[in-house]
Structures are given as structure tokens and as C-alpha cells.
Amino acid sequence: MPRIAEARQPAEPTSAEQRDRHQRILRAASKLGAEHGLERMQMNDVAKEAGVAIATLYRYFPSKTDLFVGVLHSQIQHLSTAAPAGGAPETSRAAAVAEVLIAAGRRMLERPQLATAMLQANNMAQLQGGREYAEANSAFHRVLLDALRVDEADDEDLRMVRIVEQTWYGVLVSVLNGVISVDEADADVRLASRLLLGPRYDDEAEHDA
């Protein structure tokens, strides 16, 4: 499979001080990304805003792609602590997944320039198959599997969350480029979740009941 560019391996923060710097960098990238978008945001300005040396910034995030995938990753981690696992008990599993995706989408769409930057970076990272992307992705899949009330996911479960995630991602792009409204996006996510997940996770559960 092709690699668009050979990426340097980013460093991992280990000490408390390093984690603090890492967090400051992500906050600075969120702020400046929301104001300027991916193309016009400067790595130098991120370092300045975060109060770190430019070399430190590049050690953690070798490129803007890595940086915005990192921001997306941290938003997803926040999501996994904030999301009520499985939703209300009376909710169908497909609906619980739809609500997680809609909440995540609405949060992203509050800052459209940042959302565009994160989706651009995520797309680039997906096509490059990078490590940061794989991590963010498996954290996101865990959130969706929790909403589906699946504890031990098999290949078919992972396949379904992958397909739903890809559909959600496409719906977000349609909002960002003005093809559909946020309300239409919510409706699309609910419909796609119900059609894709209902037969496996809800209709069978009804049969069992």
C-alpha cells in the first residue's frame, strides 16, 4: 500500500511536565485551528501560544496532520468519558450509537474551521495509515461499541462500527461544505444507524426478548 510521505515517529509524553506541555499544545492548536483552519495556521504560532519551543512541538507532532489528528484524538477521549454508556435502557442500541455520533458531530460543528482541519487531517492520516490515526480510531470504536452494549467485539462488530463511522464522517463533510443542514445531518445519522445497526443489534434483541 502506498505511503504519501515517510512520517517521523512522534514522541510520547511520559512525565507530568511533558503531559502538561502536550495538553497546552493541543489547546493552542484547537484555538488557532478554529480561527485560521489547517492551511493558514502556522506551527510557529502554535508553539508560541502553547509556550513551548518549536522543536518541542515538532517532537510531539511532526506535521500539522499529526497535530490535528491529535486534537481529534483528545476530543474523542473526552467523548468516551462524557458519553453515558449505552444510553437510556429503553433506547434501541442503534439509537444510542446515533446519539453519540450526533453529540460528537454537534460539538465538532461548533467550530467549523477546526472541524474542517480535523477532518482534513484525519483523511490524510487515514490514507497514510499512521499510528496516531489507528489509536484515535480504536478509541472511537470503543465509544461506539459501548453505546451498542458490546463488551467483547468480534470481527463483525468491528466491521459494523467501521461502516457506521465512515458514514458519519461523510455526513459531517456534507454539513461542512453546505450540502445539508445540521438538522438534516442529525436525521441522516439516525437513519443510517437504524438501517445499518438495527437488523443486527435491535431486531435480534427483540426476538430474544
Contacting residue, 112, 182, 203, 205, with a second copy by CB under 8 A: 112
User: What does the alpha-carbon distance between residue 45 and residue 38 come to, in Å, rounded to a whole number?
Assistant: 12
Residue type, 25: I
Indicate whether 91 belongs to the interface with a second copy (CB under 8 A): no
Distance of CA 25 to the CA centre of its chain: 18
Residue with cell 467523548: 79
Shortest reach from residue 60's CB to a second copy, in Å: 22
Q: Which of 25, 38, 57, 145 binds a second copy (CB under 8 A)?
A: 38
Stretch that binds a second copy, among 16-24, 41-49, 83-91, 110-118 (CB under 8 A): 110-118
- How far is 206 from 12, CA to CA, in rounded Å? 46
Give the nearest distance from C-beta 177 to a second copy in angstroms: 4
- Contact between 195 and a second copy by CB under 8 A: the answer reads yes
Applying the rule CB under 8 A, the residues between 40 and 59 that interact with a second copy are none
Nearest-10 Cα torsion for 203, 168, 146, 183? -80
**Which grid coordinates belong to 167?**
458514514
Helix (H, G, I), strand (E, B) or coil at 140: helix
Percentage helix, strand, coil for the chain under 3-state DSSP, each rounded to 5: 75, 0, 25
Q: Is 205 in the site for a second copy (CB under 8 A)?
A: no
Cβ closest to a second copy, residue 51 vs residue 170: 170
Is residue 153 a contact residue for a second copy (CB under 8 A)?
no
**Contact predicate 113/37, CB 8 Å:** yes
Shortest separation between residue 70's beta carbon and a second copy, angstroms: 18
Helix orientation angle between 155-176 and 131-147, rounded to the nearest 10 degrees: 100
Nearer to a second copy, 27 or 111 (CB): 111
| Binding footprint of a second copy on the chain (CB under 8 A) | 1-2, 4-5, 37-39, 112-113, 116, 119-120, 123-124, 126-129, 133, 159, 162-163, 165-167, 169-171, 173-174, 176-179, 184, 188, 191-192, 195-196, 199
